[in-house]
Structure 1
């Protein structure tokens, strides 16, 4: 394995080309072909890139959403990841900094690995920051077993737009203090075991309906408004010693002299606001440079990488033109520019390498922590405990948009109370009405088919119509196992009571059933407005 020289030696020993190479973090894909793996090995050896950011596969990369490419399932992804990291490290002259997006655990990128709740779920927790701390700590532990140094998390965007296609459930909510408090707890959890983190997406990607993987969002707010809200978490987190800040691809005219300049390419944003006004001395990393918000506008090879570097980014994430980018930076940048960025990145790598795991151990089973989170976040949005008790005691029918055999929620309730269950799958409103008969009480369990808001969270129009029919004509208690924004698809205000469980994990279904049976209180608070 390659070593990492102390900075004082490295600054004299590395050539200018090697120093610039250290600023590049191209993508690595866990499910690449042997030919693609060898190509990346050559890139590492020839250009002395400083790090890699791992993704599941080329087909699952965010910019391929519209291509509908088939994503291959790989049950051995974690072992493949471990082997690839070792293999790539062996090709590097200087030790690589290995990064990944593991916002809710390695499961964000890797099959058969622990998954923790989304940030929006954690946002519903009140007065128990230790649970969020433990999530950060457990995720960091799991990352380290793979050979990962750098988790590009947490998302510290304030999500205030229900139609946001790219942040939404990844945010802790729409309250700046809640987002800041949860982000800090998550970061401290990671830092407690030596994992690097990065707050993102500066200056705040929460109030937009445009996905920057596909286009350039524009935030039309005054600087005062932004300082009071979107920028608030970043400023506080910088004051508390975050390792790095990721700058997003969104245009914010009030913060940049160029009206439609992406933040990631704005000197005003990075050198002005982050460095001078906020006093940040750590590493600034760009959001992925392959994203269409920026990539589609620069056809000259290396130009985008140069502009991102010149704007003040130290790490160029998902840079696709490594060789050309190095050459253009070498030609145009001053020695002072290169050295300042190199020093910040090398210092970050020194910190990361000191915390490496020498002998990997097992991954942490998330069930116990997830159950505690489920107990703390379950939210009674409408109705009272007494409403649910009277409903339960007077008899009811269970209806779900999942198959009857797949609902652990219903299965566990049925162990203590007998009731009939039906599914909305492939049935009509008339069929459901016939099955219900004269029964007025309906326990409705809904699982959004997808977590993002496009196409009504994946609900079919038939399902939406049937659910709204039930809400308007029956006495309904609704339990939602998914993104709470999905409630907005339905006439949920017509329900007798509404309970948010947030996730469809077994532990969350188990806790929801206990809540319905009166065995657990609802402690959570909805972190966004529907």
Structure 2
């Protein structure tokens, strides 16, 4: 009887294992470079113009009104483009738009999205936002970042999308970087690589595409490529050892896609004002040939000034194809670009064989994500499905794992909810989640608010009132939608923060870690860093203050000679 039961168990194990083996996705890079019957059959139905169109991704919104949605549909019907880059709107409206657009397209559309912190990056009101990558940089267990990748993949598939332009693998070693900054995992190349791999693997093993960005590395720039062309003046040795390092490692680990940035890098291409995104020396010679990348290359958005400033009127689109790209994101005018590329093929500037090979790679990518089977997105319970309790719990677990005790446990150990407490909140004018939660725990307290534009006289009175309490909780909120390296308070407020930070004070900061250089709070008895002002970080900090969790996060960047990458109590 025991042998019989054992046999049943073993047989069940074999069947389960076989089931997993059958459903496991093929390696993406290998897959898109193989021959497929479906790819060939679709390719053979396309006109020369429609083949070129497969390499273009058009901008799509649902927050700009029905006229805009209809205008994009007309472009899809007229040009039969390869896919979408999805921006702001709502999940149900997006899903309905996808169903309409897919029906209007001869070939199923590849639907892409900038979701570095999940769907909430473009739909914050009705979908889940995971922590920013800088916050994830503080987490010590990368398995939880892998879990996030799997959840992002589930969310994408539920709403009908296939391709996430994430993770960011730029090493943010410039605190004043205006465009990457909190979007980076940090300034240590090894940690950035490991965390990016966890996120990438979670998404890919979950069945969607991931794209490393922004090649060859946008972390040490002081210009935003949305507005101008940044220049990296580093030599090749520096680029190889730092900026390019995560890309090289992750390409070897099977990265499906790489997005190339708009940057001028003379060490890689000395052509004046040449953006890396449309440089053959960068895309083909370096990324393809030298690093051996055989996945999909995609440009950063082609309507950004970093690329169109010096190569206007569609020339940048032609040069992107000439450079070796498979996908062009958000051309200023895709119809014009397709016509120009056709002329470039006719003149011999671009080879027809190169176009055909890339079109087949894009079609193979569509096959890999399951677009050979057309299926409408079901909008029933969509909002609920994108906000599951398990996903919300994951967000909070990540926040709890990221909260960082920058200085001393002394203040946390001494903190007593029964003592008279002054809670001084800077950057807000009414209670947020942290203040509301703390108020429920404190026996006796006074709450004070400082908006950040007060006069010295006003703040002097507040200092006296706060110091009349046995303990002080100083809470600094960066209430802007994106945390910056500099706090936006006036000098009087910054001086007030410096003065209030003392041996009776526990300072809690919901802001960019670099903002610790904006004020001097190091005299506080303890400092908790929450990285961003979202409710989940506020809840994590409250739990740490109340000794419900032990802060285990570590600084992902070096802030000063006293606060270095990896520091934390």
- Deviation track 1:83-119 (CA, whole Å, cap 9, x = no partner) reads 1111111111111111111111111111311111111
Closer, same or farther: CA 455–200 of 1 in aligned 2, 3 Å: closer
Helix, strand or coil at the partner of 2:42: helix
Q: Find 2:525's aligned residue among 469, 492, 496.
A: 496
- 2:387 maps to 1:375: no
Say which of 409, 413, 436 aligns to 1:389. Answer: 413
Q: Is the 8 A contact 1:247 1:287 kept in 2?
A: yes
Q: 1:124 to 1:169 in 2, by over 3 A?
A: same
How far did residue 390 of structure 1 move?
2.5
Residue-by-residue CA offset, 1:150-202 (whole Å, 9 max, x unaligned): 11111111111111111111111111111111111111111122111111000
Deviations 1:239-277 (A, max 9, x none): 111111000011111122325311101111110111011
Work out whether 1:44 is the aligned partner of 2:76: yes
Does the 8 Å contact 1:247/1:284 carry over to 2? yes
- Change beyond 3 A, Cα 1:525–1:13: same
**Is 1:124 equivalent to 2:156 in the alignment?**
no
2:197 maps to 184
Residue in 1 that maps onto 2:475: 445
Q: Does 1:468 align with 2:498?
A: yes
Deviation of residue 29 (structure 1)? 1.5
Name the CA distance, whole Å, in 1 between partners of 2:177 and 2:539.
30
Question: Structure 1 CA distance, aligned partners of 2:209 and 2:449?
Answer: 45
Structure 2 counterpart SS, 1:450: coil
* 2:509 aligned partner: 480
Shift, 1:359, TM fit: 6.1
Aligned twin of 1:524 = 553
| Structure with max Cα Rg | 2
Alignment counterpart, residue 351 of structure 1, candidates 354, 358, 368: 368
Contact 1:164 1:453 in 2 (8 A): no
Q: What residue is the counterpart of 1:93 in the other structure?
A: 106
Root mean square deviation, CA, Å: 2.3
Q: Which runs of 5+ in 1 are unaligned?
A: 57-73
Query: How many pairs does the alignment contain?
Result: 504
Q: Is the 8 A contact 2:483 2:532 kept in 1?
A: no
Structure 2 equivalent of residue 275 of structure 1:
288
- The correspondence for 1:363, drawn from 380, 383, 386, is 386
Matched residue, 2:63: 31
Instruction: Indicate whether 1:15 and 2:41 are aligned.
Output: no
Given that 1:203 and 1:247 are in contact with CA atoms closer than 8 Å, whether structure 2 keeps it comes out as yes
| Of 93-102 and 400-409, the range deviating more from structure 2 | 400-409
- For residue 82 of structure 1, the aligned residue among 78, 86, 95 is 95
Q: Is the 8 A contact 1:451 1:483 kept in 2?
A: no
Q: Call closer, same or farther: CA 1:153–1:355 in 2, change over 3 Å.
A: farther
Q: Distance in 2 between matches of 1:46 and 1:404?
A: 52
Aligned pairs (5 A) from 1:94-493:
94-110=107-123, 111-126=125-140, 128-300=141-313, 302-332=314-344, 333-353=350-370, 360=378, 362-365=385-388, 366-383=391-408, 385-392=409-416, 396-403=421-428, 405-418=430-443, 419-425=445-451, 427=454, 428-439=458-469, 441-450=471-480, 452=482, 456-471=486-501, 475-493=504-522
What pairs with 1:49-64 in structure 2 (closer than 5 Å)? 49-56=81-88
Measured in 2, the distance between the counterparts of 1:17 and 1:205 equals 34
Local SS of the residue matching 1:456: coil
How far apart are residue 354 of structure 1 and its match?
5.0
Q: What is the match of residue 8 of structure 2?
A: none
Deviation of 1:452 (Å): 4.6
How far residue 404 of structure 1 moved from its aligned partner, in angstroms, is: 6.9
Paired residue secondary structure (1:6): helix
**What SS class does the counterpart of residue 172 from structure 2 fall into?**
coil
Work out whether residues 120 and 172 of structure 1, in 8 Å CA contact, stay in contact via their aligned partners in 2. yes
- My pick for the range that moved more, 346-355 or 140-149, is 346-355
CA distance in 2 between counterparts of 1:293 and 1:115 reads 28
Q: 1 CA distance for matches of 2:53 and 2:327?
A: 10
Q: In structure 1, what is the Cα distance between the partners aligned to 2:449 and 2:466? A: 12
In the alignment, structure 2 segments of 5+ residues that lack a partner are 1-35, 345-349, 560-569
Q: C-alpha distance in 2, partners of 1:37/1:524?
A: 43
Deviation at 1:358, TM superposition (A): 6.4
Residues 278, 403 of structure 1: alpha-carbon distance in 2 compared, 3 angstrom cutoff: closer
